[in-house]
Amino acid sequence: MAELILVLDEGTTSTRAMLFDPSGRCLGARSADLTRQYPEPGRVEHDAAEIWEKTVACGRAVVDAAGGTDRIAAIGIANQRETVIFWDRETGEPLAPAIGWQDRRTAAYCRKLRESGEESAVQARTGLLLDPYFSGSKIAWAMDNLAEVAEAGDRLAIGTVESWLVWKLTGGLHVTDATNASRTLMMGLGSGSWDDGLTAMFRAPRAALPEIVDSAGNFGTTTVFGGEIPICGLAGDQQAATIGQACLEKGDSKGTFGTGAFLLANAGTTPPKSRKRLLATVAWQLGGKRTYAIEGSIFVAGSLIQWLRDSVGLIGDAAATEELARSVKDNGGVYLVPALSGIGAPWWEPEARAAISGLSFSTGRAHIVRAALEAMAHQTVDLKTAFAADGADWARLKVDGGMVANDWLTQDLSNMLGIPVERPQFAETTALGAAMLAGVGCGWFEDLHAAAAMRGATDMFEPAMGKQARQRRLDGWHHAVESVIGAAHD
């Protein structure tokens, strides 16, 4: 009997396969690390073939452990967004390394477009800003710089990670869901269709682009894992987490603190417009109707802790950060601005570089580590202020992602935001959201509100910091971040 959903969760640093039952219980999981290449400063690449091969291996492992494909009702896919893949339609093989969402190689190109006055029109049509983060400028760069892509002609296929996986799983179906399409700089936010002017701006051949589809439905079948399984749910990872957190009503807000940190607020069924350089995006599309979100993006979150561990050697493992943060009474005047890949919303400065300030002979390792954790709350407060100015303030924030397993960090978020912070006891909300979409797509649930029964128990963190202490920290943070922004403009 097909009573399970298989979720393929394609992250930045790993790929995971997970099995869910209709109650939301996870009954099996397998993961594998993904390699990132850094061929030059500011460049981040993936091997699309590795993504595919490790996805299949993880999926087969959990399906076999569950007793085979007869037990699998549907597949849901969640993926790192904005990463773009170029492949050959005839061979099904990648034509070049995938360009990752963290890649900044198109900073000068985006700046040139902004300086020529293009950004306001682009934002009005897409809800996005001209930044290397998004897929469009990556496509333009590839068409100009990669002969194997530019000369592929009718053989060229372009897509984000879920497009690549669906193509490979189905043997040639070329689709992208509306949440991922809305992150390319080429989809009209109101129309839900590719915009001819924008595809031309970024030199993206229309024939190479996928068809834009709903986030739940039947997107072909695969026999890769044995028997036939339908693919019924597709979403970018942050939209999947928004669904997994049951942010289904206008104003509901969530923050995912993973490799980066992404804060989304449900904006209802009318495309929102930001005056504070936040992003408007598709939260999900069902039956051709879109629900929208306002989003603020922090480029460096968990990757900062990874950097402290692997590149700097300041910690042995991520779990040590909580004990170190608790070992000192405050940050000792130390602030860390984690602009290792530029700085995102609401600043949007791709040329910014990270900085640690306030060091003295009394500074110890614990102060620097604490400053790294505090930077998560500081950046989130900046976003809350921008959301509030756009009329979308948060009354409560639902959080998830690997970083919020740290109780100290989660409490610090509540303290600095001055609002309750809710953390689910089952942390894999991105995968859960993909399972919910697949559950709707395969007929388990009538709609997402019914699918929200899959979400389990939560823990609540209440603010416990005085206004003066909060303001002192924010004053120090704003001085530090403004120094970094100023240096980028020099």
386-413 pLDDT per residue, tens: 999 888 899 999 999 889 999 999 999 9
Alpha-carbon torsion angle 397, 394, 179, 45, nearest 10: -60
Q: Which two tokens stand for residue 469?
A: 């202490």
The CA R_g of the chain, rounded to the nearest whole Å, is 21
The per-residue pLDDT for 191 is 93
In the prediction, which pLDDT does 277 show?
Answer: 84
Give Dmax (Cα) for the chain: 66
CB 68 within 8 A of CB 227: yes
For tokens 């102060």, the residue is: 367
Kindly report the pTM of this predicted structure: 0.87
Nearest to 224 by CA among 441, 8, 3: 8
Tokens of 239: 């939209």
Place of tokens 């990757």: 303
Nearest to 127, CA basis, from 80, 206, 190: 190
Measured between its terminal Cα atoms, the distance across the chain in Å is: 64
What residues does 79 pair with on adjacent strands?
A: 10, 236
Query: What is the distance between the alpha carbons of residues 254 and 249, in angstroms, rounded to a whole number?
Result: 12
Residue type, 154: D
Phi and psi at residue 488, in whole multiples of 5°? -70, -25
Query: Beta strand 36-37 with 45-46: parallel, antiparallel or unpaired?
Result: antiparallel
- The single-letter code of the amino acid at 23 is S
Domain 4-237, CATH: 3.30.420.40
Q: Which residues of the chain have pLDDT under 50?
A: none
Give me the numbers of helices (H) and strands (E) for the chain, helices first please. Answer: 16, 22
Please say whether the beta carbons of 293 and 128 come within 8 A.
no
- 106: which DSSP letter? T
pLDDT at residue number 1: 56
What is the rounded distance in angstroms from the CA atom of residue 210 to the CA atom of residue 87?
12
Round to whole Å and give the CA distance between 220 and 230: 6
Whole-angstrom CA distances from 5 to 27, 77, 238, 437 are 10, 11, 20, 10
Torsion 205-206-208-213 (CA) sign = positive
In this prediction, residue 255 carries a pLDDT of 94
Coil/strand/helix, residue 379: helix
pLDDT number for residue 490: 64
Measured torsion, CA atoms of residues 282, 116, 354, 239, in degrees rounded to the nearest 10: 0
Query: Among residues 176, 16, 168, which one has the least CA distance to residue 84?
Result: 176
Q: In this predicted structure, what is the pLDDT of residue 167?
A: 97
